[in-house]
Amino acid sequence: MKIAVFVSGRGSNLKAILDSPDLRSLIEVVSVVSNKASCQAFEIANSYNIKKCVIGSSYGCESYGELSDILIDLGVELIVLAGFLKLIPAEFINKFENRIINIHPALLPSFGGKGMYGINVHEAVFRSSAKVSGATVHFVDNKYDSGTIIAQHCVDISDVSSPGDIAAKVLEVEHQLLPEVLKAFANGKVQRLNNRVIIK
C-alpha cells in the first residue's frame, strides 16, 4: 500500500512507520508532505530518499490542487497526518474520502480541537487530573480532531509529575499504535459497521 505522510515538525511517527519491521513488506511511503520547507521530518525523508513536497511554496507544490494531482500520480492510497498542524481544505478531503487519517496524542473526543496540539494537549490532560491518557487514530474530516475514531491505546498516567511526563508516555504508545493501524489498513482489516469503525 502506497502512503503519503504529512508532517510539520519532528517526524518521530514518520520514523516509527519507516522502521516498523511489520510494515516493511506492506507499506511504501512515497511522499512526505509538509507546510514547512525546513523541518526535522524532512531530514528523515532525505535519509530514506523519499520525495518531499511543501504546500504553499515554490519548492514542490503550490496548492492543495497540485498536491492532490501529485499524490494521485504517485498512486497514494492512504494519507497519514502525523504531526501536521494545518487544517486540510474540504475539497482535498473530498478527493481522498475515507483515505486520510490522523494521529492525536490524547483519547478523543476529549482534549482535541483547535489549539490542541503538542504540549498544549498534555498540559490540558495534566490540569484535568485525568488518570489515563493515550493516542487516537481517526479519520480526518473538515474540523480538527473530530472524525470517526479508528483505534486507541490507553496509558496509565496516575504517577506523572508533569505534562512532559505524559507526552513521553503517550509518544511511546503512538509509535506502537500508528504502525498497528497501518498494518490493518494494508491487510484490508479496517471496516465500517453500523457507523462504527472496527479492525477485524
Which residues in this chain contact ligand GRF in the complex, by CB under 6 A? 7, 9-13, 41, 82-83, 103-105, 171, 174
Q: Closest approach of Cβ 184 to ligand GRF, in Å?
A: 18
Neighbours of 25 (CB within 10 A): 8
Compute the distance between CA of residue 46 and CA of residue 89 in angstroms, rounded to an integer.
27
Which of 18/41 has CB closer to ligand GRF? 41
- State the nearest-atom distance from the C-beta of 40 to ligand GRF, in Å: 7
Question: For the residues of 74-121, what is the DSSP string, one character each?
Answer: TT--EEEESS--SPPPHHHHHHTTT-EEEEESS-TTSS-STT--THHH
Helix axis angle, 12-19 to 163-186, nearest 10°: 40
**Whose Cβ is closer to ligand GRF: residue 63's or residue 132's?**
132
C-beta nearest to ligand GRF: residue: 83
Minimum CB distance to ligand GRF smaller for 7 or for 50: 7
Phi, psi of 31 (to 5 degrees): -155, 145
Closer to ligand GRF by Cβ: residue 83 or 147: 83
Shortest Å distance, C-beta 65 to ligand GRF: 25
- Asked if 153 is an active-site residue, the reply is no
CB of 99 to ligand GRF, least distance (A): 18
Contact 7, 84 (CB under 8 A): yes
Catalytic residue numbers read 104
